[in-house]
Amino acid sequence: MYPDDLKYSEEHEWVRTPGEAEGSVRVGITHYAQDQLGDIVYVSLPAVGDAVSAGSAVGELESTKSVSDVYSPVDGEVVAVNESLDATPELVNSDPYGGGWLYEVVPSDAGAVDALMDAAAYQASVGD
C-alpha cells in the first residue's frame, strides 16, 4: 500500500527521487491521506518558481468532505506542477502514486529527503 521506493512526511506527503526535472523530487499525497479526504474535486498547487519551506502549507486539496492543506516535505523551489489535475483532480484518489502526483521541487538540501520516513515507519505511524 505504501511503495518502498518513496519517502514520507508526517503530513502524509510522499517524495519520489528523482523527479522529471533535473535535481528535483516529485511530491504527492499518500493513499492514507486521499482515503481520509474522500473524493477530491479541486486541487490548488504552488506556482513554478515558488520557494517552499518544509512543513509549510503550499496548496490545498478540496474534497466532498473538507478542504485540506498540502505541505512541503522539504525546503526548495517548485519547478513543475501536475497541470492535468486542473481537469481531473480525481487522479489524486485513483492514482496517488502515479498520475495523481502534485508538484516537483528542487530541494535546497538534498539530505532533507533522506531524513523523511521510509515506508515501514510511515505505515506504523498511520496504524495500517
Cell of 117: 520516513
Residue 85 maps to a domain: yes
Residue 1 maps to a domain: no
Domain with 88, as residue range(s), is 7-126
User: Which domain CATH number covers 35?
Assistant: 2.40.50.100
Q: Is the sign of the CA dihedral 48, 50, 53, 56 positive or negative?
A: negative
Give the total number of structural domains in the chain: 1
pLDDT of amino acid 26: 97
Q: CB neighbours (10 Å) of residue 121?
A: 12
Report pTM: 0.95
Residue 2 maps to a domain: no
Q: Please list the pLDDT of the chain residue by residue as tens digits (128 residues).
A: 899 999 999 999 999 998 888 999 999 999 999 999 999 999 999 999 999 999 999 999 999 989 999 999 999 999 999 999 999 999 999 999 999 999 999 999 989 999 999 999 999 999 87
Residue 72 maps to a domain: yes
Residue 27 maps to a domain: yes
pLDDT of amino acid 63: 96
Phi and psi at residue 67, in whole multiples of 5°?
-115, 130
pLDDT of amino acid 109: 94
Burial 88-106 (b: 16+ CB within 10 A, else e): ebebbbeebbeebbbbbbb
Residue 29 maps to a domain: yes
